[in-house]
Structure 1
Amino acid sequence: MPAATVLLGPQRFMTTAGSTLRALAVEGPVATITAGWEEREDQDGELGEVLDGRSRNLRLWHRTFDVLGKDERFAAAAIAFRDRHDELQSFYRLRLEGALETVYAVQRRSSTHGTAAAALDDAVAAVRHLDDWYSAQLKDLYREFDAQAPAQESELIAWHRGELAGMLADSAALVITGGHVGSLLRALRLFALPISPELPVIAWSAGAMALTDKVVLFHDHAPQGSHEAEVYDRGLGRVPGIIALPHARRRLRLDDKKRCGVLARRFPHHRLLLLDDGTSAVFDGGTSVASGGEVGAGGEHAAYGPLPHGVRVLTTDGVVQEVVAP
């Protein structure tokens, strides 16, 4: 039976990772991934204390730079991929801004003969089409990248993957922290970690996003101004059908129901999970339990079944709802 996968709220102000690990009642070392911290990857002393001194850092950020510094073929392909991805994102964001401006303009327009609803549906569909276009283009970029520098042909990458596989096989659980989600995803993809379904996983912030099948960036209160939510990449898919939204209270205009409703409608096959301080969503392949949230509502979704009890989700009408047990 699959082991628990626990998505936590941010750990900066309310640390729950230690109590979550103890609740899993597992014995042995705990593998940790702090690649999202980038150059601070090894500054994990506090994390080690939270995990009762059982942590063993896989050092994926360090290993990534070891590969880039020694494998010229892979490094060249990685640089080419980065440049093409940057260009793809620039065009996607340009088109996305225009498409969402149209959506918001339609929302503001009154309708005498009932045309507004159909117009809004079509405008949102155009945004979904754009999100799908970006995802398809990115998939092609990955395919070309893999063809240019097949990881299986690199002895260095194979060595790292072998060592990591051994470390994971000897671990009682895996913890994935937050940080820069792009750096984290690149490292996870490079080393293709064999994370067994039987291995319990605890993750928060960028780590939680990386465990889903669709990673969406968002920030309505960014220092440089409002940042439209954008599809960024695909994750590991350990928790499918979920889009993780860490720091939701701080980063989303949750009081703007129209704007939040558009965000939810863009992803009809996913539930938007709000991961705020104190949230703990446990997915265990059977009965799921979570804590955190305030507003009562049902949580069934035909695409992938019930969500953990107690989590908060964003609905297509822009309302924050708490999932309750049937």
Structure 2
Amino acid sequence: MSKEFLSAKDKLFEVKSTLNISGNLVSLDEPQVMGILNITPDSFYAESRVNQETAILKKAHQMVKAGAFILDIGGYSTRPGADDISEEEETKRVTDAINLVRSKFPEVLISVDTFRSSVAKHAIESGANIINDVSGGNLDSNMFETVAQLNVPYILMHMRGTPQTMKSLNQYDDLLIDIGKELAIKCNELKQRGVSDIIIDPGFGFAKSISQNYKLLQKLSYLKRLGYPLLAGLSRKSMIYKTLNIEPQDALNGTTALNMIALQNGASLLRVHDVKEAHETIKLFKALNT
């Protein structure tokens, strides 16, 4: 696949636009919003952290009401330099939250944000529908087999190293080609294991400098040749607030601007802290393209 990926530069690629979730086909023909629900005490954006039942349900209700297609529940902060926590603690955080959200919002799609296969398995058994792995299988050799056994959609993100070491691993011969090849190899491995429902996340901010992030966003459509829908996770990241010399809490306007660019360059999912604003951005994008 990697050879084909590199040689077909001027070819139009057919991108898969449906996900099979528990036997139901879910369409991504139109862009959708994934709302971030951090069950952590140390995620980089303080206002996204919730860990009490009332706060979790309030945030989930706000996101669902605002148009979230998926709620992404994570119990391990992957910001640069984040503290490590045990599998047991991460499992408890996410499964408690999933059970709580599922009891109140039975129809909403839930993804579990984890790089640990055991946490992913417990989360799916607790009612999650999708596995969102920031490591792309790098940090747990059992992840791909677990995804295949569970038969659920998988969000494959590009990252090098760990959240603790990734900042030093951003040397590329050619940014787009290298990222594309690394993702293509993993798509092949997943396909060989019988996993067909894959979403590609290019991993903004993960083993990439600020300038590399902007180049990747500018050329995001290049990754459509992998044949899978693209997710853009730009929300309030350092590429925005460091460029603007502001704090994450002030980076909504910048997030909205870059989300529109991501949509124009082929993103099917926006992973965000601010669902209402992202949903409005999609509405305007659709108005521009009707």
TM-score by length of 2: 0.36
TM-score by length of 1: 0.33
Higher radius of gyration, 1 or 2? 1
